[in-house]
């Protein structure tokens, strides 16, 4: 959404409970010379309406056909649905052209790329041609390598630091400051959205929306599922300034990357803050951390939507910091989780003095330690999946998984622990349940 839209009239990109997804890129070559319409910039209003009333690509076409004109837009609307539909609609005030991704004559590789011009617009006008050139190369290479994945789009394509025209690769530069123009991520970029749709016949609830709130080079990818959209993590909810905490943190880091505000200084990137030879640049650290989120999400998806394991013997969640949290639901899965499927340095949790699930915060293979909020969330789950679920405050013990032992001959689910820490929490589910 647009943070300054206090009336809530616009949505810049999104997915609804029917699996219908819409986004747009502004076009600068679709309006005809004869179009003197003053109404403009209503793309966000149209997309909000579409998310309210559309369930399919066909519904969106009907909406465009029946809305009063002029629409007040000049845009490339990208839409997908839960029935296999996918298309771009190059739309101006009075009409549109549909580019169907399922038409091999239009999209021979099964995808379409747009920046800030339209293919059916005025020739060689508009913007974003250099960015398009780079994106096209990246996607063609990924297709050849069978690597059109979440990770590729989020980590490589949307954060690409290679210039499509000059070939300059900022990850190989050793300069303090570089001019930052016409890269895929722009200084004015405010987010990245990647929606992973479902196949026809699958539940729209399984639709996954990855979000990078804030400046893409200084923010982190976060997964959200349609099934849990009504209960967003706190880090993604509007704060005091109507922007989410994750976005605020990203903008603070962005200031370090563009510290010169006078004159044309805003066009110059302080490269060593973002990427450097020590491997400790802002983006380098983010990408390393983000790999744990991507891996956890892949494992979480496999377990969550698996039809082969409908009982869900081990329930999985994602903490606000991106760590996977696993909960055993019976004695056998508790044993498996605590003794066989653990890393020695994972954190293990159990309610103190009462029967309950074994809970594992998977952090043993991560380069980063979980924060206080991650530990609290794992403890809340341990309290929730116990006999003390209805209590207002519950004591939970936690320790490294290597300090969890099973006495010889003990029943399944029975363990002893050492070097434990105690924390008191309120039993609570995470939104990713």
Domains by residue range for the chain, with CATH: 1-127 (3.60.60.10), 147-310 (no CATH), 315-425 (no CATH)
pLDDT tens for the chain, 433 residues long, are 777 777 888 999 999 999 999 999 999 999 988 899 989 999 999 999 999 999 999 999 999 999 999 999 999 999 999 989 999 999 999 999 999 999 999 999 999 999 999 999 999 999 999 999 999 999 999 999 999 999 999 999 999 999 999 999 999 999 999 999 999 999 999 999 999 998 877 888 889 999 999 999 999 999 999 988 777 888 998 877 778 999 999 999 999 999 999 999 999 999 999 999 999 999 999 999 999 999 999 888 877 666 544 445 689 999 998 899 999 988 888 988 998 888 989 999 999 999 999 999 999 878 889 999 999 999 999 999 999 999 999 999 999 999 999 888 788 889 999 999 999 999 999 864 4
Q: What is the pLDDT of residue 183?
A: 98
Query: 3-state secondary structure string, the chain?
Result: CCCCCCCCCCCCCEECCCCCEEEEEECCCCCCCCCCCCCCCCHHHHHHHHHHHCCCHHHHHHHHHHCCCCCCCCEEEEEECCCCCEEEEEECCCCEEEEECCCCCCCCCCCCCCCECCCCCCCCCCECHHHHHHHHHHHHHHHHCCCCCHHHHHHHHCCCCECCCCCCEHHHCCCCEEECCCCCCCCCCCEEEEEECCCCCCCHHHCEEEEEECCHHHCCEEEEEHHHCCCCCHHHCCCCCCCCHHHHHHHHHHHHHCCCCCCCHHHEEEHHHHCCCCCCCHHHHHHHHHHHHHHHHHHHHHHHCCCCCCCCCEEEEECCCCCEEEEECCHHHHHHHHHHCCCCCCEEEEECCCCECCEEEECCCCCCCCCHHHHHHHHHHHHHCECCCCCCCEEEEEEEHHHEECCCCCCCCCCEECCCEEEEECCCCCCCC
Q: What is the pLDDT of residue 74?
A: 97
């Amino acid at each position: 959404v647009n943070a300054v839209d206090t009336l809530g009239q616009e949505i810049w990109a999104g997915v609804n409970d029917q699996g219908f997804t819409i986004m747009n890129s502004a076009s600068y070559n679709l309006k005809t010379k004869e179009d003197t319409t003053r109404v403009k910039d209503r793309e966000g209003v149209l997309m909000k309406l579409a998310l309210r009333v559309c369930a399919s690509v066909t519904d969106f076409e009907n909406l465009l056909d029946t809305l009063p004109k002029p629409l007040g837009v000049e845009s490339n609307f990208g839409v997908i649905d839960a029935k296999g539909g996918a298309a771009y609609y190059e739309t101006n005030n009075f009409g549109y052209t549909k580019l169907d991704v399922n038409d091999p004559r239009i999209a021979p590789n099964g995808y379409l790329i747009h920046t800030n011009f339209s293919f059916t617009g005025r020739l060689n006008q508009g913007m974003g041609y250099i960015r398009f050139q780079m994106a096209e190369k990246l996607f063609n290479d990924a297709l050849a390598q069978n690597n059109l994945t979440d990770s590729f789009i989020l980590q490589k394509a949307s954060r690409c630091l290679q210039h499509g025209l000059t070939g300059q690769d900022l990850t190989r530069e050793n300069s303090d400051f570089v001019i930052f123009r016409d890269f895929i991520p722009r200084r004015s970029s405010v987010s990245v959205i990647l929606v992973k749709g479902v196949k026809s016949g699958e539940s729209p609830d399984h639709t996954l929306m990855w979000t990078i709130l804030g400046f893409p080079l200084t923010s982190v990818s976060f997964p959200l599922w349609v099934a849990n959209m009504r209960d967003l993590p706190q880090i993604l909810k509007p704060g005091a300034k109507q922007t989410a905490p994750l976005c605020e943190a990203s903008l603070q880091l962005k200031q370090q990357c563009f510290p010169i505000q006078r004159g044309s200084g805003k066009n110059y990137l302080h490269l060593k803050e973002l990427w450097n030879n020590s491997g400790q640049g802002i983006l380098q650290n983010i990408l390393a951390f983000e790999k744990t989120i991507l891996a956890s999400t892949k494992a979480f998806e496999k377990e969550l939507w698996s039809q082969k394991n409908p009982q869900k013997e081990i329930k999985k969640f994602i903490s606000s910091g991106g760590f996977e949290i696993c909960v055993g639901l019976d004695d056998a899965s508790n044993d498996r989780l605590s003794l066989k499927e653990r890393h020695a340095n994972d954190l293990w949790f159990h309610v103190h003095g009462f029967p309950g699930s074994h809970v594992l915060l998977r952090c043993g293979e991560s380069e980063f330690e979980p924060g206080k909020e991650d530990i609290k969330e794992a403890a809340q789950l341990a309290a929730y999946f116990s006999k003390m679920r209805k209590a207002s405050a519950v004591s939970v013990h936690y320790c490294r998984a290597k300090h969890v032992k099973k006495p010889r001959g003990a029943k399944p689910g029975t363990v002893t622990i050492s070097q434990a820490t105690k924390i008191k929490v309120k039993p609570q589910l995470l939104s990713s349940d």
